[in-house]
Every structure is written in structure tokens, then in C-alpha cells.
Amino acid sequence: MNEPRIWVLIDNRAGNESQSLGVVEALGGPYEERRLQYSLLAMLPNAVMGATFLGLKPGCQDQFMEPWPDLVIAAGRRTAPVARKIKRLARGACKIVQIMDPGPAGTAAFDLIAIPRHDVVTRGSNTLMITGAPHRVTSSRLDDASKIWRSRFEHLPKPWIALVVGGSTRRRKFSAAMASELGRMASEMAQESGGSLLITTSRRTGPAADNLYDEINVPSFKYRWGDNGDNPYTGYLAEADSIIVTGDSVSMCSEACATDKPVYIYAPKPLITAKHARFHQSLYQEGYARPFTGLYEEWTHPPLNAANDIAAMIKG
């Protein structure tokens, strides 16, 4: 029996790419990527766009031709018209799986829509409600990262506490005061436990990174966004004894919970939207994470990756 032909639609949002690739990798087997470049028309609502390639830049649609795939996986609203058009050209002989809500238009065309519970929306019997975001942080990737990074942290006292810092979003600002508070609380946690910090910031942290690092007064391994060398992010997840993560990113929180280690979410109210707050509450209630208070505790939880749930539903 031949392997199914799978296309993954990849656009310019790293979070969308990680979610789609996480699902197709959970399925196993070969797949092909189709990279999307959007025109201004992609900004129109999906109810207006329908099933079309018109939201793509000229030439981008040339990659869509026979033989048509058996399955298309995509994430994000703007990929939905493209997936629907592929299914139409394949005369329905192609299943399309959409991650995140594509909106109310044309939902019957999708064979499966995976929507995070914190979005508080369903689209019918073809909807799968998931906790968090699917991702690519698997046990095998963590094992590989551990082999690379473990020796680089061995000079630091344990426990190793990862501090994963996001930053400002479109609607909320990660302020200098928040950064200082987070750095101070994380340092106190490491000091009281006799351990050290494994710190990484992101592009969105911005100038507040200075305030964060000014408060670090314990042994630490630091990676600041833009530094030369490999990003130790996956190494941190693999090797840390516990993880502190800022609550501004569903993806970062979900990836932290891919381990079985204690996860603490720093989520001051001015930084967090109502949607993110609902997501955090679901993680707390299901035992994947706890609010960050500065208290170091040893506890475990099952690894979280919605990609496995979506892949299982696709396989039937």
C-alpha cells in the first residue's frame, strides 16, 4: 500500500509552521511542504475569499498542481482558502485538516478543525477541541538536545531552573517593571533552592531584557535574543529540573509542558489577555502547570502535545 501523499501549507508565521509540522511529524511518514507568500488580498475575511488562491502572491500558486495530495494540513486563518481550493481542484478526493479556527465560512469543507479550548468556539461535528497548541517538542528531540547541551551546563549548581521569556504582544506590553520583577523572583527561587538559572529571551522581550538581566545575581547560563551561537531553548527544556515561562505565548507554554517537569507560568494581569488567562487556567486545572510564585517544588505531570491528539484523529 502506497504512503498517502501529504502537503503541509507553511506561511510566514513561525507559530503556524510549528503547529502544522508538529502534527505531520506525529503522523509519521513522508510529506511535502508548500510555502505560502500572501498578497494584500489575504487580509480579506475568509467569508469573502472562499476557496481560492487569490490571497497568494503571483507565482506562488504555481506549486499547486497534479498529482493532488490525499491530505492537506495547515494552521492559521489565511491558509484556509488555499486548503479549500486544493480540495476543490482535487474534486473532493483530498482531506483537509485545519489547526485553529478558520472562521464560520465554509467549515463543512474541512474534514477536521482543531481548535484550542481557550478560544471558546466550535464549528460543528468536525471540530476537535484541544488543550494548548500542537508543537514539535517530542521526547526524541529532547533526548537529542540533551546530548548536545548537558555538558555546557555541568559547571552550574543544581537544580537547573529554565527561565523562558517572551515579551510584548500586539495587545499587551512586557514592561521594564515586569522584567525586573521576573528576574528578581527567578533569582530568589534559584538562590533558595541552591540552584542556577538557564535564561533565554526572545525578539519580543525588547529593551526590557536589560531590566531582567540586571536582577540576576545567581549562577546562570544566559542566551539573549540575537546572541551569536546556537539557541539553547530546546536544550533548556531537555535539561532543566523546572521551567518558568512567561504566559504571553500559547506555544511557549505548550512546549514547556511537553516535558514532565514542574512548569510555572509568570502571568501578571497587565500582560495577559482574557484568552490567555483561560488557557493558563486550563493548564492549572489539568495539572500541567502552576502559577509562578517563586516557590520551588518537585512535582511531575504527563507531557502535553496536542499534535498527538490531532494525529490520532486523522488516523481514525
pTM: 0.92
Grid coordinates of 80 = 484556509
pLDDT at 2: 78
142: part of which helix (H) or strand (E)? Answer: helix 139-153
The residues pairing with 99 across neighbouring beta strands, listed in sequence order, are 75, 114
Query: Amino acid letter at 91?
Result: R
- Dihedral of alpha carbons 131, 135, 136, 137, sign: negative
Q: Is the pLDDT of residue 252 over 70?
A: yes
Task: Return the pLDDT at 122.
Answer: 80
Strand order in 112-116's β-sheet? 32-35, 6-10, 71-75, 95-99, 112-116, 127-130
Confidence of residue 1 (pLDDT cuts 50, 70, 90): low
pLDDT at residue 83 is higher than 80: yes
Domains of the chain: 6-130 (3.40.50), 139-291 (3.40.50.2000)
Instruction: For the chain, report the end-to-end CA distance as a whole number of angstroms.
Output: 17
pLDDT at 112 over 70: yes
Secondary structure of residue 45 in the 3-state scheme: coil
| pLDDT beyond 70 at 162 | yes
CA atoms within 13 Å, Cβ hemisphere of 75: 25
